[in-house]
Amino acid sequence: MLSASEIRKVMEERTQHQKGTGKKVVDVREEMERLEEKGELLIHRIRPENRPVPMQTLFGWTKRIPTDRLWHHKSCGQCGNIPGYPSALLWIMNETGRTYLNEPHQTSCTAWNYHGTATSNPVALAAVAARNFHRAYETDHFPLIHCGTSFGDYKEMRKLLVENADVRHKVRAILRKMGRDLVLPEEIVHYSEWVQAMAPEIVARKKFDLGPVVATVHEPCHYYKMIPEDAIYDDRVYGGQRPAVPTGILLALGARVADYSTWYDCCGFGFRHILSEREFSRSFANLRKIRPMVEEAHADVAITSDTGCVTTLDKSQWIGKAHGQAYMLPVLADVQLAALAMGAHPYKIVQVHWHAAPVDRLLEKMGIDGAAAKAEFLEYLQALKSGRAPELLHTPHEEIEQYFAINKGQVLPEEGTGASPPTTEPPAGVGRALP
């Protein structure tokens, strides 16, 4: 086994991973700074108010993870299939006193449109990314990306916008027509990185023990296989040889993390496959992921950190019964398990009822009274049915926000009538105006 100092040496060597060749992978953030100098874009900076926590990336570069004043970039599949994922995240933010904006003024990254059906193109993807980045910027809240694919796509798009002047100019022209401009965040941050950064505070609020729980981790492909240099690694997690998230929070919470032979494999989501080639998705998920997790690692729960992965791994299992493979291994996002450990309501907050594989046994192992929680929830459903107002995690949006993404000083675009002038006044303290 590697000693800590040996691991550090490897991490150090990885920093100079292309020693001698001079073909070192470029840190796109450095070029981004130069472009800002030249007035070609603005950087949405992490400020002290964002209470950043430093982490290490694959090559040992520092990545600062903002933990406060965040702009939730929700995931399109997450909210449709597994809403407990964003609600658990928002709940933990409330519990730990973090502020955020969760707006209707956000599109998904639309990368599904590209990776699933190819009915888009990189310029469009880059423009969508920049549009959402600008919205976060003008609200002075730092974007936090919920989805693995959005995270991967935004890393790619930031790189594309930095490296390709032609795309940059095209996108900027489009943004200006809608009263926006080109802003790129200093870091592209995945929510699981936030969870890792918040681990000490989460652990401090732990109410239920994960000690008896064996967890297997599915690492979302787009978290670390797209632009690998921007994923975070920690030498305490598999000797820095696998991404630090979402394994890190499980270890911090005291769960037993078990390895299995196909940990490197994708979940079988495949974008279009999950909808129109389901025989593939479910076979892959069951045979290549769930079975080894159960048979090799004897897992109580599979933990991952992406929308598509939770959906595929969870929903694909039920049909396994047809082949005598009734594994029904619970599949949760890291943040859902963390919220459960912190005492979140399994139904009202973690929304476990959206999951196809039941979590009852897991709750029992953690010492959570699942039956009582379910009874409570059913009662709540009846109350909603009879017209009671729903319980919410943050103040509801006003009606006017169904229409307008409004902000200080912003000139409303004249949709359908042509261009409107760009924002002249950046939000206070965020940055400077573009020339």
Partner 1 sequence: MSVVAHLPHRTLSLADEEASSPPAMELTGRRRMSAAERSLAETIYQEFRADPRHEEFVLGCLNCGECTTGCPAARFYDFSPREMLQIAANGDATTLWDALQEKIWSCCQCYTCNMRCRFGNDIAGIISVMRELSVRHGVESTRRTLAPFGRSLTLLMTVGTQVSSDMIQPDFFRDWGPFATGSDKAWDVSPEIMRKAIPIDVLQTTRSAWEVSVQTSLELFRIYEETGVLDMLRGLDPDLTEMLVDIIEERREEFREARETHRARLETMRGPVATFQG
Partner 2 sequence: MNPVLVLGGGPAGLSAAAELASLGAPALLVEKENYLGGNPKRWHYSLLAPDLKPAEEVLGELLRKVEGNPRVETRLETTVTQVEPAGKGFRVSLRTRETLETREVGACILATGFDHFDSRRKYEYGYGRYPDVLDFKELEGMIHDDRILRPSDGAVPKRIAWILCVGSRDLQVGNTWCCRMGCAVSIKQAVEIRQKHPEIDAYVYYMDIRTYGLWEDLYWKSMQQYGVKFIRGRIGQITMAEGGKRLVATGEDTILSRPTEVPFDMIVLASGMEPGHGTQEAAKLFHLPVGPEGFLTPKVADINPVDSGIPGLYLAGAATGPKAIPDSVTEGMGAALRAFQYARD
Tell me, what amino acid is at 135? R
The single residue among 261, 276, 382, 424 that binds partner 2, judged by CB under 8 A, is: 261
Tell me, what amino acid is at 96? T
Given the complex with partner 1, which of 88 and 250 has the nearer CB atom?
88
Given the complex with partner 2, which of 298 and 323 has the nearer CB atom?
298
Given the complex with partner 2, which of 14 and 374 has the nearer CB atom?
14
Report if residue 238 touches partner 2, rule: CB under 8 A: yes
Measured distance CA(216)–CA(328) in Å, rounded: 14
- Cβ(101)–Cβ(373) below 8 Å: no
Strands (E), 199-320: 214-217, 232-233, 256-257, 301-304
CB of residue 244 vs partner 1: minimum separation in angstroms? 17
Measured distance CA(55)–CA(98) in Å, rounded: 19
CB of residue 345 vs partner 1: minimum separation in angstroms? 9
The single residue among 8, 14, 256, 278 that binds partner 2, judged by CB under 8 A, is: 14
Given the complex with partner 1, which of 31 and 391 has the nearer CB atom?
391
Report if residue 292 touches partner 2, rule: CB under 8 A: yes
Neighbouring-strand partners of residue 73: 145
CB of residue 63 vs partner 2: minimum separation in angstroms? 18
Report if residue 262 touches partner 2, rule: CB under 8 A: yes
Q: If contact means CB under 5 to 8 A according to the sort of partner, which of partner 1, partner 2, none does residue 226 touch?
A: partner 1
Given the complex with partner 2, which of 152 and 243 has the nearer CB atom?
243
Backbone region of residue 39 per phi and psi (left: phi > 0; alpha: psi in -120 to 50; beta: other values): left
Given the complex with partner 1, which of 16 and 121 has the nearer CB atom?
121
Measured distance CA(54)–CA(29) in Å, rounded: 15
Measured distance CA(127)–CA(145) in Å, rounded: 17
Given the complex with partner 2, which of 17 and 388 has the nearer CB atom?
17
Measured distance CA(15)–CA(176) in Å, rounded: 38
- Tokens for 256? 């037993």
The single residue among 99, 119, 241, 424 that binds partner 2, judged by CB under 8 A, is: 241
Report if residue 259 touches partner 2, rule: CB under 8 A: yes
Using CB under 8 A, which of the segments 6-14, 115-123, 385-393, 416-424 binds partner 2? Answer: 6-14
Using CB under 8 A, which of the segments 134-142, 161-169, 204-212, 255-263 binds partner 2? Answer: 255-263
Report if residue 431 touches partner 2, rule: CB under 8 A: no
Report if residue 263 touches partner 2, rule: CB under 8 A: yes
Measured distance CA(325)–CA(320) in Å, rounded: 5
CB of residue 351 vs partner 1: minimum separation in angstroms? 6
What is the SS3 assignment for 235? coil
234 phi/psi in degrees, rounded to 5? -145, 130
- Tokens for 66? 């903002």
Tell me, what amino acid is at 161? L
Contact residues for partner 2 (CB under 8 A)?
1-2, 6, 10, 13-14, 17-24, 238-242, 259-264, 292, 296-298
